Amino acid sequence: MPSDPIELARFLIGVTLHRAGATMISGRIVETEAYLADDPASHSYRGMTARNRSMFARAGLAYVYRIYGAYWCLNVSAGGEGEGAGVLVRALEPLTGVDAMARARPNVKERDLVRGPGRLCAALCIDGSFDGIDLCASRTLWLGARRAPADIGASARIGLSKASTEVLRYYERGSAFLSGTARLNV
């Protein structure tokens, strides 16, 4: 697994994310965003705090944070220890445990279950208690095998007020499970 945030963001496209709870849930990552060490849009930009310390760990740990008071977002830490880089996991292609995801998100269409970082965490029951876990060693949330995507597209990142033109969002071209509008997923 690469540690450079851009290489990691591209590598994670096609990797299977597993969640073991009452039911086994898994999905293939189809969309990511890279957040660099010296990046005005990154939580790590102003240095390490109690919230973002997981971003400064060695690559491969989970950084889970709450946004807009209501949703959780899952990142994979990147870079070397103390660097403060990460990759936001934005969308999955559901593989197994669709029923469990639907129970966690009632009245939601299958296509929208894990299409977006907040929705993804809700469907997989990921919250702040997962912050800092090792995604290569955990038995509750971990990264598994990779099935290489046919084609990887790139676009500007979504939802940012700073550095919003940097092309650091990556996605599997043609996937039906991408977030954002169609224009971004060409």
Contact in structure between 56 and 135 (CB atoms under 8 Å)? no
| Residue 152 bridge partners (DSSP) | 172
Q: What's the burial of 160, exposed, middle or buried (CB within 10 Å: 0-12/13-18/19+)?
A: middle
**Whole-angstrom distance, CA of residue 170 vs CA of residue 162:** 18
| Min CB(132)–DNA separation in Å | 13
Mark residue 125 as left, alpha or beta (left: phi above 0; alpha: psi -120 to 50; beta: remaining): left
Exactly one of 71, 80, 134, 152 binds DNA (CB under 7 A); that residue is: 71
**Segment near DNA (CB under 7 A); pick from 6-14, 15-23, 139-147, 178-186:** 178-186
Q: Which is nearer to DNA, 18 or 43 (CB)?
A: 43
> According to CB under 7 A, which residues from 77 to 116 bind DNA?
86, 88, 105, 108, 112, 116
The alpha carbons of the chain give a radius of gyration, in whole angstroms, of 15
Give yes or no for residue 49 binding DNA (CB under 7 A): yes
Catalog residues that contact DNA under the rule CB under 7 A.
33, 35, 41-44, 46, 49-52, 55, 63, 66-71, 73, 75, 86, 88, 105, 108, 112, 116-120, 122, 157-162, 179, 181-183
